[in-house]
Amino acid sequence: MAYCTLFDLRSVLPKTITIGTQTALSPAIVQSQGKPDTLSPQSAYAQIEFATQYINGRLRTVYFCPLQRVKAFETPLTKDVLAGSNLLYVEDAGMFNPGGMVRIGDGTNTETLYLNGDTGQLEGDPTRIDQMRVETNLQKNYGATTPTLVSLLRFPDPIPWICARLAAANIIDKLFVTEKAPDVPTGWGKSQRNQAGLELDAILAGATRLEGQEFNGRRFVPTQLFDTQKATAEFQSGQNKE
């Protein structure tokens, strides 16, 4: 379970580092400046997963992990949509972020979909703020008079922000080691990691509370007092025992 999306990661990374789409027919998508993409989606997702694991490890003494998505915002559907459509109509789509997850339900049918976030644009028509496009077509019909509710589902703030910055810092470190380029901004990667660490410290200290997450019930007990975990297998000394 990843705590941020590719759109979140792209928003944090410098413009000189791009994440493209690789296929068997097109190993690298060439950008407008004539350079191939710096990173494949697979590599980007791997760094997001590593960042997610790090966050879970830090927060597990306070919260049950992995963390759960919560309903951050909800608004009624304002226009009927039919099965096969990929447009949703609401009064104001400003609260819905590109690449985010939405749930549409009328009390009988429910579907969970991702918002189109490849280009960073939600609206089907750039001149309108009452439309948003989803990546997959709807399977059912939904009416505005039923009523049908459209809910925004996301991880509590600032977890996506922390995950994106940790993943970006890992990517910067990896590129610096691979390319050995003297102009790679390693200080930038370090600053992203420091900012993410400070936010995690604020969560552990109680200054920042994660909305909708369950405490593990032992947050006031020092971890040194917990029982030692037993190894599932004997440690081998390196020498065969008769």
Q: What is the pLDDT of residues 168-208, one digit of tens each?
A: 999 988 877 655 555 555 688 889 999 999 999 999 998 99
Tens digit of each residue's pLDDT (9 = 90 or more) over 107-150: 999 999 988 764 444 545 666 788 888 888 999 999 998 889 99
Mean pLDDT of 147-161: 94
Q: What pLDDT shows up at residue 31?
A: 47
Cβ burial of 234 (10 Å; 0-12, 13-18, 19+) is: exposed
More confident residue, 23 or 107: 107
| Domain residue spans of the chain | 6-67+158-220, 70-154
CATH architecture for segment(s) 70-154: Beta Barrel (2.40)
Please check whether residue 4 is in contact with residue 164, taking contact to mean a CB–CB distance below 8 angstroms. Answer: yes
If we measure between CA atoms, which residue out of 103, 125, 123 comes closest to residue 114? 103
Query: What is the reported pLDDT for 25?
Result: 43
Between residues 40 and 156, the one the model is more confident about: 156
Taking the whole predicted model, whether its pTM rises above 0.85 is answered as no
Q: What is the pLDDT of residue 220?
A: 60
